[in-house]
Amino acid sequence: MPRVGLAAPRFAWFHPEKTGTSLGNSLVHIANPQLPANVSILSSCGPRGQRRPCRGTTDRFGQDRYTYARWFPGVFWEKGGDFAKHVAVDDSVFAKWAGSFVGLFRDPARRAVSAYYHKYTGFCRSQQATRGASATCMTLTPYARFIEGQVATLLACKVGRDPATGRRYRRTNLFWCKRPHADALNVALKRLASFSFVGLTDEFDVSVCLLHVMHRAPCRPVELTNERPTDYRQRARAHGEAFQSVDELAQALREKYVDPLDTPLYNMAVRRFEADIREHNVTQSACAQLRCATSATTRYFDSRERLLSGK
């Protein structure tokens, strides 16, 4: 059943890689509360627990069983049929969706670690299998430098020519990030200020609760599931390395390199997130009332209470 008698929100999902695909489950269930409770955006050809093979690579959420036209008319920045794509925000997209952007932001070092182990190492091994010794793999720190400013660039995409050099801007929207333009950070910070919702990947459950408090909607269990977890222990074993947690890997990376663009953008996202927690009076009790409370939200609010009390 489509949404009936309810005013639908508008969501333009800014979704850099490795920031949380699972957010999409919250967006679709808030956008249309009549969506079956167990539907996940990664089970587009049937509800969770009743998955059936998709007919082809074009069968995605919004195109097969739960179409945008019927279930979410005018709600999402659809990005050519897949609202979860990692697509850049250029001037025309921003003008159309300003005030409706939502997204999760992740500590740049942790995002680099996740992308390195979940994306790059597998890609490089496949290149080595094809090209042999001529294919060399980057270690984590050079890789982090390689994707420098990826989130800021994605949010501050430029189309056309640089007036200073006359060179055409290179549009950025996928894994292989091009160099950001000179004003990327300033543009990204200004655009972030207009977001309707800012969450943090590393505080995912609290972010989901905040989103639901803002929209006065209860959580569904499917929203609090990590759709694409990275098993760092298994990755380390595959590479013959000693296991290190993402926190240990990220801290070691920070000691060698700090992203000069994505770090200030992330810091602004953290300030906005914390301000919204206060503004909307998001508490463990509020999360519990909306069925969004988890052990992660308990840890967050307990830690916040200790910090505020000076203990």
**What are the per-10-residue average pLDDT scores of the chain (311 residues)?**
57 95 94 88 54 44 79 92 88 93 97 87 66 73 92 82 56 46 91 98 97 96 77 62 80 96 98 97 97 97 83 61
Tokens standing for residue 102: 């939502």
Q: What is the pLDDT of residue 166?
A: 62
Distance, in Å, from the CA atom of 39 to the CA atom of 223, rounded to the nearest integer, reads 9
Distance, in Å, from the CA atom of 106 to the CA atom of 265, rounded to the nearest integer, reads 10
Q: 101-105 and 12-13 as β-strands: parallel, antiparallel, unpaired? A: parallel
User: Helix or strand or coil: residue 289?
Assistant: helix
Q: What is the pLDDT of residue 56?
A: 42
- Whether this prediction's pTM lies above 0.75 is answered by yes
CA dihedral (169, 171, 172, 174) positive or negative: negative
Residue 226 sits at the vertex; the CA angle it makes with 277 and 264, to the nearest 5 degrees, is 50
Residue 218 sits at the vertex; the CA angle it makes with 216 and 224, to the nearest 5 degrees, is 125
User: Helix or strand or coil: residue 277?
Assistant: helix
Which DSSP letter does residue 224 get?
G
Which alpha helices (H) appear in the chain, and where do they start and end? 23-31, 68-71, 91-97, 108-115, 121-131, 140-146, 150-155, 184-192, 204-215, 232-238, 246-254, 262-279, 284-289, 295-309
User: Helix or strand or coil: residue 79?
Assistant: coil
Q: What is the pLDDT of residue 57?
A: 42
Q: What is the pLDDT of residue 178?
A: 57
